[in-house]
Chains A and B, each alone.
Chain A
Amino acid sequence: MQVLRRSWILFLAIALALGLGAVAQEHGGTLIFARGGDSVRLDPADITDGESVKVCQNIFNTLYEFDQGTSTVHPALATSYEVSEDGLEWTFFLRKGVMFHPWGDNPSYEMTADDVVFTFARQYDEAHPYHEGDFAYWGYMYNYISQVVKVDDYTVKFILSRPSAPNLLNLSCFTAMIVSKRAMEDMGVEEFRNNPVGTGPFKFVSWTRGSEIVLEGFDDYWNAPYPYLDGVVFRVIPEEQARLIALKAGEIDIMDSVTPDNAPLIEQDASLTLLEAPGLNVGYVAMNQMIEPFDDILVRLAVNHAIDKQTLVSTFYKGRGEVAINPMPSNLFGWNDEIVDYEYNPDLARAYLEAAGYPDGFDTELWYMPVFRDYFPQPKLIAQAIQAQLAEVGIRAELVTFEWGTYLEKTEAGEHPMAMLGWMGDNGDPDNFIYVLLDKDAATVGSAGNIAFYINDTLHDINIAAQITVDVDTRIALYKQAQVIIHGDAPWLTVATGNRMVGVRSYVQDYDLNPVVKGRMEFVWRND
């Protein structure tokens, strides 16, 4: 009887808790989002820094947008699209009734094909009157788009110089955010960068440099009932410890960029919640095949068997990451789950070295990054650990580093025998890892993305085939095959994917820890 009553009470308690937990989303309130640095400029076409992207993410929209939590996309400012048979013409049908934010004395107006064409033409057309800036991402990721033309007020056509399967994902990234043509013409580029006008869930209110950017919910937002919040403030708090104290004290609501050391402090606090998800990144050690003995597959295999990656992840990532088996993160489509990672086995590593003609090992250099990233939270310590494990099998690696810009230059020029580096995905497409980092096209000395200088023609053919094919299943099959080839050739020691972590006050609901999109506040609401 006693037991029965207890279980009833338990049942009631659970029901009550579930009932209370399932509160409907509520409108209202403002949230303060604290990050480590200020934005640079708010012109989505001409930014490369994450802090500018985070704010733009809330002011602008793209034709298609990333779903909550994943790197798949859904229609946004466009409702659908068609691709021509040869893959060279992409026609997008625009959503009707999408309004731009009002600015100055100007009322809001409806977005049309003119705004979309303007957004892209000012990036690719050097003679365009509003082509002011570096447009670094355009040159790097969108150079296959040769023209964007208006078909009618609600239809635009993208003309490509070569087929590109990642096009839809690319058009969902920040560089492709649609800006207001009239606002930019009215203000000029310089002024627009400080007073951006878009169609997004929040409109720009003010910017106190080095301190805060204030945004206000846009009443005429096309994607009702979003946004739930009345406003968002992006505050700059450079020091992570200060950011943590501010979160604990309730002076801010969301703390960006939590490092592994501080994560437990947030988890232990009942009034806070730690949001954590695998990042869209991979950290690796590239073995330069232009330099002996790394041109020898046996040596590369020896290195792969010499390192205990699991210990690296539990020690230096504090378990907040996962061992990387493939050269792309596991949350990306096409990730091959059938590949078994190289076993940590120093004896086998020694055997490979002996077979390669290095029974006594050899001397080399291991380069490590001077800056930390999610994929290498403590580069120097990780390098020391790898150095020690390599020494166990007889590979005597000297640690080397340079200032970050120089480091990138020297590794791109192939001056390193072994170098630690990593990659954070831009658009959530495997092409953005496999092609950019391992294709022979990317192995140009001086500007290499492929700093292993690994050349495999079969892999290249697969990469090109996957770029041309739009069919997702075919592409997945191709990338799975690509990963098998890469695994066999072992150009890298893939190390780990680091988690992304954000700390929030517990009343902050539905913050989207998306692998591609950062800082999106559209769906967030306050439960208090």
Chain B
Amino acid sequence: MLKYTIRRLIAIIPVLLGLLVLIALLIEFIPGDPARVMLGQHVSEEALAALRDRLGLNRPFIVRFGIYLGNLFRGDWGTSIREGRPILTILAERIPATFELSIAAMIISSIVGISIGILSAYRQYSVLDYVGMVIALIGISMPVFWLGLMMIYAFSLVIPILPFGGRLTTGVALNSVTGFYVLDAILTGNLAALGDVLRHLVMPAVALGTIPMAIITRMTRSSMLEVLRQDYINTARAKGLSTQVVVLRHAFKNALIPVVTVVGLNFGVLLGGAILTETVFAWPGLGTWLLDSIYARDYPAVQGGVLFIGASFILINLLVDLSYAWINPKVKYD
């Protein structure tokens, strides 16, 4: 297991390098001069030239990429062109918001998705099954952007029970310790803030979690159906075990492997895919920042942001692979 983990960790290096080259090349091919995009129409030619020079845009691609890689190895992710601040500082501000939202979305989508999936599988072709599958189908086909706006309209305006966006009501005091507001509120024992933070989290998390929820539901259902047809389930039933035990202990654990894969993969997707949700709900996370950076042709920022998301994706995949051994003892890595 340890050997496998180390091997996988080493294998990450070329993957990340490939990712870096790919991002750098993609950025290189996006049309548009960052100096021009940043300074717009109201600027002198001298200022443009000075900025291009300062950003090193006059140098050839290979030289710029080489310098970037060298700095990266020394732990310097560069400075945002737009904000003039170190990328790592900005990432540290933005990551907790996005992680908090993605984790909340993952928890909600997993609980709801797995529950509906199990029920649908257990009562295949029942009304419950059809309702569950219709919900999953709607969930998977609903544009997050539209869903988010509809939710805001419904729950902030028509029945005003939830705040429309942001992470915290203006004026609510919360000492930031980790940047994860839920955690911060708990750590500082600030119950008023905790309630406020959770209320802000509900709508964006549900909106973001809808598509993964739908995928998890379908995956759980089909995986459960397959397992429920196995002989050992009949044996378990024949032994006189209760339905609950058969479904949850015997069937579900074996049906879990593909579900865990999907959950893991989706988490990575959530990190990168939070852009729309963050925009609709004014959530100050990685997504909105990355979008602004792309618009501004802020190359170091885009590179840093994508690198971070890519690295997270790879790590999560590794964790998912490792978790198979825990779920199914038959899986061995050595």
Contacts and interface: CB of A to CB of B under 8 A. Distances in A.
Interface of A: 30, 32, 37-38, 40-41, 48, 133-137, 139-141, 143, 190, 193, 208-212, 214, 233, 235-239, 241-242, 245-246, 248-249, 251, 402-406, 408-409, 423, 426, 446-447, 449
A159 B285 CA distance: 47
A298 B319 CA distance: 72
B297 interface: yes
Given A236-B282, A242-B280, A209 B93 contact: yes
B31 A40 contact: no
A236 to B, nearest CB: 6
A251 B163 contact: yes
B40 interface: yes
A215 to B, nearest CB: 12
B116 interface: no
Given A41-B84, A235-B166, A211 B42 contact: no
Interface string B284-306: 11001100100001000000000
Given A239-B279, A242-B164, A210 B285 contact: yes
Nearest to A405: B32
Contact of A242 (B30, B31, B45, B282): B282
A32 B165 contact: no
B46 A245 contact: no
B184 to A, nearest CB: 13
B141 interface: no
A506 to B, nearest CB: 17
Nearest to A39: B83
Interface string B76-114: 000000111100001001100100000000000000000
Nearest to A37: B292
A363 to B, nearest CB: 25
Contact of A134 (B37, B41, B51): B51
Contacts of B288: 210, 238
Name the residue in A41, A235, A239, A426 with the highest tally of chain B Cβ atoms < 10 Å from its Cβ. A239
Nearest to A238: B279
Given A48-B42, A238-B279, A239-B149, A40 B82 contact: yes
Contacts of A141: 42
Given A38-B292, A249-B156, 13 more contacts: A134-B39, A140-B47, A190-B85, A210-B93, A212-B166, A237-B282, A238-B282, A245-B156, A402-B31, A403-B31, A408-B41, A423-B41, A426-B42
B169 to A, nearest CB: 9
Contact of B44 (A37, A136, A236, A446): A136
Given A242-B149, A405-B31, A40 B282 contact: no
A40 B39 CA distance: 13
Contacts of B50: 134
Interface string B44-88: 111110110010000000000000000000000000001111000
B170 A233 contact: yes
A209 B166 CA distance: 12
A428 to B, nearest CB: 14
Interface of B: 30-34, 36-48, 50-51, 54, 82-85, 90, 93-94, 97, 148-149, 152-153, 156-157, 160, 163-167, 170-171, 279-282, 284-285, 288-289, 292, 297
Contacts of B45: 446-447
A256 to B, nearest CB: 13
A127 B255 CA distance: 69
A437 to B, nearest CB: 10
Contacts of A37: 292
B113 to A, nearest CB: 27
Contacts of B152: 242, 245
Nearest to B153: A245
Nearest to A141: B42
A211 B285 CA distance: 9
B280 A140 contact: no
Nearest to B279: A238
8 contacts: A48-B42, A134-B54, A136-B43, A210-B289, A238-B279, A239-B149, A242-B165, A405-B297
Contacts of A426: 42
A419 to B, nearest CB: 13
B284 A236 contact: yes
A404 B37 contact: yes
Contacts of B46: 139
Given A134-B51, A211-B284, A212-B170, A237 B165 contact: yes
B217 to A, nearest CB: 28
B27 to A, nearest CB: 13
Contacts of B289: 210
Contact of B83 (A41, A241, A246, A403): A41
Nearest to B39: A136
Contact of B164 (A211, A246, A423): A246
Contacts of A236: 282, 284
A26 to B, nearest CB: 20
Contact of B90 (A193, A209, A214, A446): A209
Contacts of A30: 171
B15 to A, nearest CB: 30
Nearest to A43: B84
A210 B43 contact: no
A135 B149 contact: no
A139 B43 contact: yes
A519 B39 CA distance: 21
Contacts of A238: 279, 282, 288
A40 B296 CA distance: 11
Contacts of B166: 211-212, 235, 237
B284 A208 contact: yes
A248 B152 CA distance: 11
Name the residue in A139, A210, A239 with the highest tally of chain B Cβ atoms < 10 Å from its Cβ. A210
B164 A251 contact: yes
A141 B42 CA distance: 9
Contacts of A233: 170
Contacts of A446: 45
B32 A404 contact: yes
B294 to A, nearest CB: 11
A403 B37 CA distance: 10
Given A40-B82, A239-B149, A140 B44 contact: yes
